[in-house]
């Protein structure tokens, strides 16, 4: 059988259409995978904050001096610090990091602007006491959370690097993070 001229010219268009459709499916699939990874990171952050919140609630009711070290922080990709401040208190000093020097003393981690450009402004508002930085990278609550009765043990702001452990200590009217 011989094909007519119209049939010969239509065949390349079918192949071109198939290639375009295949490319669109590939792009959609990659976007779906990226969205799924971002959602997993958001869920991981939410679970971590909820675990710390439940630990604080538990320790608030224990005798003064009770201590527990949390599991190492597992911040989603792109996040570097987990910072604790005191609610409704004006921040005056340099944040303290969980990084320790050779003698075992906790050392400062630089200015608040070095941790996150917007952190100092959020600390001055005073509505939240937990900050995950950089806040622009945090998908959940823009990296701002509130855990009642949790205060930093040293300084105005205590920041933990990804992978560090938080030590919670029960005090008379609050739970201390150190």
As a whole number, mean pLDDT of residues 99-110 equals: 64
Please tell me which residue, 124 or 134, carries the higher pLDDT value: 134
| 99 confidence band (pLDDT: 50, 70, 90) | low
State residue 5's pLDDT score. Answer: 57
**CB distance 108 to 97 below 8 Å:** yes
Alpha carbons 129 and 143: distance in angstroms, whole number = 11
List b or e across 56-80, with b for residues whose CB sees 16 or more CB atoms inside 10 angstroms.
beebbeeeeeeeeebeebebbeebe
pLDDT at 29 over 90: yes
**pLDDT at 35 exceeding the cut of 80:** yes
Q: What mean pLDDT is reported for the chain?
A: 81
Q: Tell me whether residue 9 is in a domain.
A: no
Is residue 18 very low, low, confident or very high in pLDDT (cuts 50, 70, 90)? very high
At 25 the pLDDT is: 96
Range of the domain at 149: 36-177
**Confidence (pTM):** 0.72
Evaluate whether residue 101 is within a structural domain: yes
Q: Does the pLDDT at position 32 exceed 60?
A: yes
- pLDDT tens digits for 126-169? 688 888 888 777 777 778 888 888 888 877 788 888 788 888 88
Q: What is the pLDDT of residue 10?
A: 66
Top-confidence residue, 41 or 17: 17
In the chain, how many domains are there?
Answer: 1
Any domain includes 3: no
Q: Work out the number of other CB atoms within 10 angstroms of the CB of residue 90.
A: 9
Separation of alpha carbons 29 and 45, rounded Å = 25
Q: How confident is the model at residue 6 (pLDDT cuts 50, 70, 90)?
A: low
* Domain membership flag for residue 137: yes
Residue 16 domain-assigned? Answer: no
d(CA 131, CA 59): 21
7 pLDDT above the threshold of 70: no
Q: Which two tokens stand for residue 31?
A: 């976007």
Residue 80 lies in a domain: yes
Confirm whether 141 is domain-assigned: yes
Cα gap 147→19, rounded to integer Å = 53
> 3-state SS of the chain?
CCCCHHHHHHHHHHHHHHHHHHHHHHHHHHHHHHHHHHHHHHHHHHHHHHHHHHHHHHHHCCCCCCEEECCCCCCCCCCCEEEEECCCCCCCCCCEEEEECCCCCEEECCCHHHHCCCHHHHHHHCCCCEEEECCCCCCCHHHEECCCCEEECCCCEEEEECCCCCEEEECCCCEEEC
The answer to whether residue 15 is domain-embedded is no
Q: In the prediction, which pLDDT does 93 show?
A: 67
């Amino acid at each position: 059988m011989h094909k007519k001229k119209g049939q010969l010219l239509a065949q390349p268009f079918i192949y071109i259409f198939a290639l375009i459709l295949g490319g669109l499916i590939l792009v959609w699939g990659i976007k779906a995978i990226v969205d799924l990874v971002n959602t997993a990171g958001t869920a991981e952050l939410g679970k971590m904050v909820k675990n710390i919140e439940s630990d604080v609630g538990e320790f608030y009711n224990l005798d003064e001096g009770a201590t527990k070290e949390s599991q190492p922080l597992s911040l989603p990709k792109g996040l570097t610090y987990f910072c604790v401040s005191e609610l409704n208190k004006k921040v005056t000093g340099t944040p303290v990091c969980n990084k320790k020097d050779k003698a075992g003393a906790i050392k400062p981690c630089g200015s608040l602007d070095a941790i996150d450009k917007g952190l100092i402004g959020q600390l001055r508002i005073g509505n939240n006491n937990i900050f995950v930085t950089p806040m622009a990278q945090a998908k959940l609550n823009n990296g701002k959370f509130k855990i009642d009765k949790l205060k930093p043990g040293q300084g105005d702001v205590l920041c933990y690097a990804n992978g560090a452990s938080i030590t919670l200590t029960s005090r008379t009217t609050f739970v201390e993070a150190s």
